[in-house]
């Protein structure tokens, strides 16, 4: 059962990353005229990227022989998620200031 979870997490991580890039680069030119749709698209892409990296961290912990649900691992997931959210907010702030 453990190998099945590992395989599904690896596949899920890669598919989520591909789907996020496809969603952004294929649909963004179509949605460029609608502000609300564009913002929702960015949020969806950011969530998919965060989920993809969290799945990869779970895979990495399993490969190291650590429990992905352990307190240290959960703390590392939270730190990584906060770092990515900060980076996304920084990117959005720059785009917001440029548009003003």
> Model confidence over 27-58: pLDDT tens digits?
777 777 777 777 888 888 888 888 888 888 88
> Nearest CA to 49 among 12, 17, 19?
17
Determine the angle formed by the axes of helices 35-63 and 2-31, rounding to 10 degrees: 160
**Tokens representing 39?**
């913002």
* pTM of full prediction above 0.85: no
* Token pair recorded at residue 97: 């200031």
What is the pLDDT averaged over residues 93-100? 78
- Using 50, 70 and 90 to split pLDDT, how confident is the model at 3? low
Nearest to 81 by CA among 39, 45, 53: 53
What is the structure's pLDDT at 1? 47
């Amino acid at each position: 059962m453990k190998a099945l979870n590992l395989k599904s997490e690896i596949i899920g991580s890669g598919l989520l990353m591909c789907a996020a890039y496809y969603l952004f680069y294929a649909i963004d030119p179509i949605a460029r005229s609608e502000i609300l749709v564009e913002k929702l698209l960015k949020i969806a892409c950011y969530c998919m990227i965060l989920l993809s990296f969290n799945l990869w961290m779970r895979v990495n912990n399993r490969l190291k022989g650590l429990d992905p649900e352990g307190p240290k691992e959960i703390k590392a997931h939270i730190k990584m998620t906060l770092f990515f959210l900060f980076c996304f907010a920084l990117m959005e702030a720059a785009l917001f200031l440029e548009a003003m």
